[in-house]
Amino acid sequence: MRLYAGVIRFFIVVVLIHIAMFLVVGALARRSEGPELPPNTLRLATDAIQVRTLDPVAVGDTASSGICNQVYEGLVAYNQKTLAIEPCLAESWDISPDGKLYTFHLRRGVRFCDDPCFPDGRGREMTAADVRFSLTRVCDPVAMSTGFWLFDDRVVGATEFNQQRAEFLEKHPRFWEEAEAWLGPESDGVPGLRVLDEHTFAIALKRPFAPFLKVLAMSYFFVVAPEAVKAYGAATNPPGKDSFFRHPVGTGPFVLERWEPDVEIILKRNANYWHETLPHVDAVRLISRRDPHTAFMEFEEGNSDMAGVPDEDWERVMNEDKTLKEPYAGRYRLVTSATLTTFYYGFDMQNPPFKGNKALRQAFNYAIDREALIRSKIYRGLGRAAYGPIPPGLPGHDPANKRYAYNLEKAKQLLTEAGYPGGDKLGEIQLYVSGANDSQDRTSVVVMEELRKIGIKVSLKQQPWPLHLESIDRHEARFFRLGWIADYPDAENFLALFLTRNWKPGPNSSSYSNPEFDELYDRAMLEPDEGRRAELYRIAADIIIEDCPWLFTTTGEGLALQQPWVRNYPRNALGLGFYKNVIIDRALTAPMAARDQ
């Protein structure tokens, strides 16, 4: 009996220790939910809130720009559906007849959100000086801007300013301790960024650049409050100090209420927002669900307003024709959109065997059955076959041009013309891939098999992403997989990948060079008329299709399910969310919840 009593006592002690520990840890632990959120809240469970920074100039990933898009705004904005340019902080603008001077008339009465960085804690009115300050930061390596390439050699004086700041950096290794590292709103470092008066701002370009407004709507060019950068410190903050990276102060429809990494992000309506009726929702709550399948379950439970369909749930939810199966079709809304993404296999145009051998590159292009690839289990019909560099949805894309439609005979014949009949003398070609994503890896295996059919032996060389990029930079990879996600919705963004002046370290991964193409590109940039420019894009794309520095593969398509109570949340080709326009229609919530029970 003594033994049993001992065992029982022991277990009581263990249980008490656990309770004590839970109480202590519970008191220490961050709670995942702040105050109760209003019913009019957009709730998203997503695997994509690994936000790195909320400093617009340093944003380089979609998760970060997704949040920046809610708390900040630029001079102009994209239409949430068509991505056409709309007024935003600038009410209107004029473009000079020579296409080199853009004058923006700022909206009056736009105020920053309230924040302790302002003298009285209340957001002051945004002025042209703030726009200059924000755009100057884009050119400043001290701010660790990742968007300078968009202004480089385009905005008057931007390149010189960047050089000057780079020299400053070189001389001051501990630059965050130097007063000079700080560029106040009064600094006019870039001559092309001009404050004309409090509500008028101008940008002078070195030469016309037709897609410039589309560039300006990108998150790099959002307007930030100089007081916040100064108070919280951006790149210039000494290590350990709280950072502007985590403390956004902008003019956007929402303010950042809470950001717990790997737990949640809460956005609240900005009380100072200039639009009278927007945003429709009072708050947005993004909860982190790293596993897409878990995120989808939360959606099915009604805890999330939107979700993608993960691979493991696909066959349960989707029909082969990309419609919803029952009972899902009766419950959810399906929204799809082509995305401005293209996947390809690049050829190194400066090294054998692809250098100077167009027939060989064309043979590769004829050997791939892209339509079968899209229909296969890898893509399940999501996406499109790519026959050129410009994805569908952009002016210059020519849907009729399917020149490299699958044709094994033609491929074999071209291989012979290329000097490698039967592929024999070619030896084994290494295809460099990066294990970024399962469907991409499986595509590479298909490509390998397809090429074997015309006698080309391919082996895969799998590397981590940073190494993959370095192998391409060093011209070690002669045949390599890459993709391009549009930075802004203009065909120029894709055609620029073939410019001679964008050779490495620029984004011309194939090191393609063709003076005729470069000249056409430049002509298109000078062309203010959209229709004529689209025609120039098409001709330029035809040159690329003829020369094929890439093995064109597929373009992307996005798909999401929405709860019936979500309104006005279309998908667009950049995958950008415009939470301010979303309507949560509570009348539709009730029957939904009842059916779930």
Partner 1 sequence: MSSYLNYTVRRLLFTVPILWGVFTVTFVLFFIVPGDPARLLMGQHRDAATEQAMKVQWGLDQPKHVQYWNFLKKAAVLDFGQSFTNKRDVRQAILERLPATAVLGIPSLTIGMFLGIAAGLWSAMRANRAVDNTIRFITFCLVSVPFFLLAILLQWGLGQQLHVLPIAGYINGPWGWWHLALPMFVMTLGSFAGLTRLTRTAVLEVLTQDYIRTAKAKGLPELVVVVRHALKNAMIPLVTSLSVSVAATLTGAFFVETVFAWPGVGLLAVDAINNRDFPTIMGTVMFGAVLFVLADIVGDLLTAYMDPRITLK
List the structure tokens of 538. Answer: 């098409």
Instruction: Give whichever of 487 and 492 is closer to partner 1, judged by the CB atom.
Output: 487
DSSP letter (8 states) at residue 390? S
Query: Any contact of residue 509 with partner 1 (CB under 8 A)?
Result: yes
- Whole-number Å distance between alpha carbons of 112 and 134: 13
Per-residue contact flags (x/-) with partner 1 for residues 409 to 448, judged by CB under 8 A: ----------------------------------------
Query: Any contact of residue 263 with partner 1 (CB under 8 A)?
Result: yes
- Whole-number Å distance between alpha carbons of 51 and 65: 8
Phi/psi region, residue 464 (left: phi>0; alpha: psi -120 to 50; beta: rest), is beta
Site for partner 1 in 542-581 (CB under 8 A): none
Q: Which stretch binds partner 1 (CB under 8 A): 20-28, 89-97, 569-577, 585-593?
A: 20-28
Angle, to 10 degrees, between the axis of helix 408-417 and the axis of helix 358-366?
Answer: 160
Instruction: Give whichever of 232 and 379 is closer to partner 1, judged by the CB atom.
Output: 232
Is 384 strand, coil or helix? Answer: strand
Q: Amino acid identity, residue 389? A: P
Q: Which stretch binds partner 1 (CB under 8 A): 49-57, 93-101, 374-382, 519-527?
A: 49-57
Is 486 strand, coil or helix? Answer: coil
Least CB distance to partner 1 at residue 48 (A): 13
Q: Which helix (H) or strand (E) holds 485?
A: strand 479-485
Least CB distance to partner 1 at residue 240 (A): 6
Site for partner 1 in 26-45 (CB under 8 A): 26, 28-33
Count interface residues toward partner 1 (CB under 8 A). 72
Site for partner 1 in 115-154 (CB under 8 A): 141-142, 144-146, 148-149, 152
Query: Any contact of residue 341 with partner 1 (CB under 8 A)?
Result: no
Instruction: Give whichever of 506 and 564 is closer to partner 1, judged by the CB atom.
Output: 506
Instruction: Give whichever of 429 and 469 is closer to partner 1, judged by the CB atom.
Output: 469
Least CB distance to partner 1 at residue 550 (A): 14
Instruction: Give whichever of 263 and 460 is closer to partner 1, judged by the CB atom.
Output: 263
**Judging by DSSP bridges, how do beta strands 457-463 and 428-434 pair with one another?**
parallel
Least CB distance to partner 1 at residue 515 (A): 24
Phi/psi region, residue 511 (left: phi>0; alpha: psi -120 to 50; beta: rest), is left
Q: Is the Cβ–Cβ distance between 230 and 117 less than 8 Å?
A: yes
Q: Is the Cβ–Cβ distance between 251 and 125 less than 8 Å?
A: no
Instruction: Give whichever of 40 and 303 is closer to partner 1, judged by the CB atom.
Output: 303
Which burial class, exposed, middle or buried, applies to 427 when counting CB atoms under 10 A from its CB (0-12, 13-18, 19+)? Answer: exposed
One of 8, 13, 467, 588 touching partner 1 (CB under 8 A): 467
Distances (CA, A) of 28 to 31, 261, 393, 517: 9, 16, 51, 62
Instruction: Give whichever of 136 and 357 is closer to partner 1, judged by the CB atom.
Output: 136
Least CB distance to partner 1 at residue 195 (A): 25
- Whole-number Å distance between alpha carbons of 100 and 285: 42
Least CB distance to partner 1 at residue 174 (A): 8
Instruction: Give whichever of 120 and 262 is closer to partner 1, judged by the CB atom.
Output: 262
Least CB distance to partner 1 at residue 264 (A): 8
- Whole-number Å distance between alpha carbons of 134 and 493: 23
Least CB distance to partner 1 at residue 68 (A): 14
Site for partner 1 in 92-111 (CB under 8 A): none
**Where are the alpha helices (H) located in 318-392, listed in sequence order?**
328-331, 358-366, 370-375
One of 119, 239, 327, 356 touching partner 1 (CB under 8 A): 239
**Cα–Cα nearest to 517, from 495, 493, 484:** 495
Query: Any contact of residue 589 with partner 1 (CB under 8 A)?
Result: no
Instruction: Give whichever of 238 and 356 is closer to partner 1, judged by the CB atom.
Output: 238
Q: Is the Cβ–Cβ distance between 136 and 56 less than 8 Å?
A: no
Q: Amino acid identity, residue 498? A: F
Per-residue contact flags (x/-) with partner 1 for residues 273 to 312, judged by CB under 8 A: --------------xxxxx-xx--xx-xx-x---------
**Cα–Cα nearest to 541, from 508, 498, 487, 483:** 498
Q: Which stretch binds partner 1 (CB under 8 A): 205-213, 343-351, 463-471, 544-552?
A: 463-471
Instruction: Give whichever of 246 and 403 is closer to partner 1, judged by the CB atom.
Output: 246
Q: Which stretch binds partner 1 (CB under 8 A): 101-109, 203-211, 238-246, 529-537?
A: 238-246
Query: Any contact of residue 316 with partner 1 (CB under 8 A)?
Result: no
Q: Is the Cβ–Cβ distance between 205 and 102 less than 8 Å?
A: yes
Is 385 strand, coil or helix? Answer: strand
Site for partner 1 in 153-182 (CB under 8 A): 162-163, 165-166, 169-170, 173, 175-176
Instruction: Give whichever of 264 and 369 is closer to partner 1, judged by the CB atom.
Output: 264
Least CB distance to partner 1 at residue 140 (A): 9
Beta-strand runs (E) in 365-472: 384-385, 428-434, 457-463
Instruction: Give whichever of 293 and 325 is closer to partner 1, judged by the CB atom.
Output: 293
Query: Any contact of residue 314 with partner 1 (CB under 8 A)?
Result: no
Instruction: Give whichever of 339 and 362 is closer to partner 1, judged by the CB atom.
Output: 339
Q: Amino acid identity, residue 544? A: I
Distance of alpha carbon 101 from the chain centroid:
28
Task: Compute the residue count for the chain.
Answer: 597
One of 118, 245, 343, 569 touching partner 1 (CB under 8 A): 245
Nearest-5° Cα angle at 77, 141 to 71: 65
- Whole-number Å distance between alpha carbons of 290 and 123: 35
Omega of the bond leading into 279 within 30 degrees of 0 (cis): yes
